């Protein structure tokens, strides 16, 4: 991302580059382009689906890797110990992501989709899949703490490998049984989840670390932060826009041919994003995390790993199932909502005292 305003310049949006400033426009264009491609070009979704290795979509993987690498290359890995020592941040993130998030989605799905079991199950699966990719972008656009985002995403990835199937069993079978509700199951394995984590987070994380390590050793930190980072930063948005086009092209026909179903699925998702993001912000402010880490806490709590949720839904229920459609609608709602919340975050930034921002961070931003 391009350089944001400093602490003494709260009008952050006015300092962004043209690319960043008109982000909602570019994302809107990418969403429409993807939907039209999927709707008007026969077989485009089939062609995209076939370009995969071991169940991993290469176009989506390419877009996510391009999107995440520049942001993770910006991370100051020598500062990670300041994050791992922040017990309030880590505890708050674990509670929001692994206790409150799945429980809230379960409640919203049952309250708002009691008559649509397929969509309800799909949303519960979405609630179990914590975000490990796009949240990096939203956090960076909102001037959150990059190092904290890297740590929290890594922790969520580890928990996802070990807890996704367990929580799926609990929220789809055990808890509904206790409450006298309809029960179901999911078919997934730790390896399937670990594979997603290794590809979508592991590769860009290692690449980002190696870039900073060798770049600083070869040319110095000043060159790395002020020359190299600005050169690669725009590619994060290029990767994001490419990923959005591919995601929407894959399901354009389903989304445009079932508008009322999309609306029904969208309502609990809207409530979920608002409540999780708002809860993260309130918690971060209450425990005194400061703007940057409060923002990181809120966005990591609100985001979801739709790639994983869609993959699990397709593997268990089929590509044309209602469960899969619920996962597909996720990005349709999440992308514009979280872009809007980026601007809300930037507007709230001036409410945090200047001393709450880590010294020297703004000079490291590019």
- Output 51 or 278, whichever has higher pLDDT: 278
Q: How far apart are CA 121 and CA 265, in angstroms?
A: 11
Percent of the chain predicted with pLDDT > 90: 38
- The counts of H helices and E strands in the chain are 21, 2
User: Residue 2: is its pLDDT beyond 80?
Assistant: no
pLDDT tens for residues 260-275? Answer: 998 999 999 999 999 9
- The least confident of 71-85, 89-103, 117-131, 340-354 is 340-354
- Higher pLDDT among residues 113 and 354, named by residue: 113
DSSP 349: G
pTM for the whole structure:
0.78
At residue 353, the pLDDT reads 54
CB 88 within 8 A of CB 289: yes
Q: Residue 278, Cα to own-chain centre: how many angstroms? A: 16
Between 14 and 323, the more confident residue is 323
Closest to 142 measured CA to CA, from 300, 349, 365: 349
The pLDDT confidence band at residue 89, using thresholds 50, 70 and 90, is: very high
User: Which position has the token pair 């040319």?
Assistant: 219
Q: 10: pLDDT confidence band, cut at 50, 70 and 90?
A: very low
CA distance 249 to 254: 10
Contact 23, 31 (CB under 8 A): no
Q: For 300-344, what is each residue's pLDDT tens digit?
A: 999 888 777 877 776 677 666 788 888 878 877 888 899 899 999
Q: What angle do CA 302, 306, 312 make, to 5 degrees?
A: 130
**Secondary structure (3-state) at 11:** coil
Rounded mean pLDDT, 186-215 = 82
pLDDT at 38: 82
Round to whole Å and give the CA distance between 222 and 216: 8
Token digits of residue 40: 């008007």
The pLDDT of residue 214: 96
For 181-206, give the DSSP string: ---------HHHHHHHHIIIIIHHHH
């Amino acid at each position: 991302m391009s350089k944001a305003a400093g602490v003494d310049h709260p009008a952050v949006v006015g300092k962004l580059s043209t690319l960043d400033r008109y982000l909602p426009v570019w994302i809107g264009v990418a969403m429409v382009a993807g939907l039209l491609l999927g709707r008007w070009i026969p077989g485009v979704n089939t062609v995209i689906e076939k370009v995969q290795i071991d169940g991993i979509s290469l176009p989506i993987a390419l877009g996510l890797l391009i999107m995440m690498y520049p942001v993770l290359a910006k991370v100051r890995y020598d500062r990670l110990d300041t994050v791992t020592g922040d017990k309030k941040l880590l505890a708050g993130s674990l509670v929001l992501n692994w206790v409150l998030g799945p429980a809230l989605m379960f409640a919203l799905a049952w309250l708002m989709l009691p008559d649509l079991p397929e969509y309800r199950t799909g949303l519960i699966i979405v609630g179990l899949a914590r975000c490990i990719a796009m949240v990096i972008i939203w956090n960076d656009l909102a001037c959150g703490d990059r190092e904290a985002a890297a740590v929290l995403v890594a922790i969520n990835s580890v928990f996802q490998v070990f807890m996704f199937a367990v929580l799926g069993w609990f929220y789809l079978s055990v808890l509904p049984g206790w409450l006298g509700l309809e029960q179901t199951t999911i078919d997934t394995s730790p390896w399937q989840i670990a594979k997603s984590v290794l590809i979508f987070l592991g590769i860009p994380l290692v690449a980002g670390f190696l870039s900073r390590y060798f770049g600083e050793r070869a040319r110095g930190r000043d060159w790395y932060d002020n020359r190299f980072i600005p050169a690669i930063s725009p590619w994060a948005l290029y990767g994001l826009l490419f990923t959005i086009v591919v995601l929407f092209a894959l399901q354009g026909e389903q989304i445009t041919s079932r508008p009322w179903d999309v609306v029904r699925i969208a309502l609990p998702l809207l409530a979920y994003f608002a409540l999780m993001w708002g809860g993260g912000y309130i918690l971060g402010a209450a425990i005194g995390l400061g703007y940057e880490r409060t923002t990181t806490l809120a966005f990591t709590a609100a985001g979801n790993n739709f790639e994983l949720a869609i993959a699990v839904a397709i593997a268990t229920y089929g590509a044309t199932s209602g469960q899969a459609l619920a996962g597909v609608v996720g990005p349709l709602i999440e992308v514009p909502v979280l872009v809007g919340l980026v601007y809300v975050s930037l507007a709230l930034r001036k409410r945090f005292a200047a001393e709450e921002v880590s010294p020297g961070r703004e000079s490291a931003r590019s």
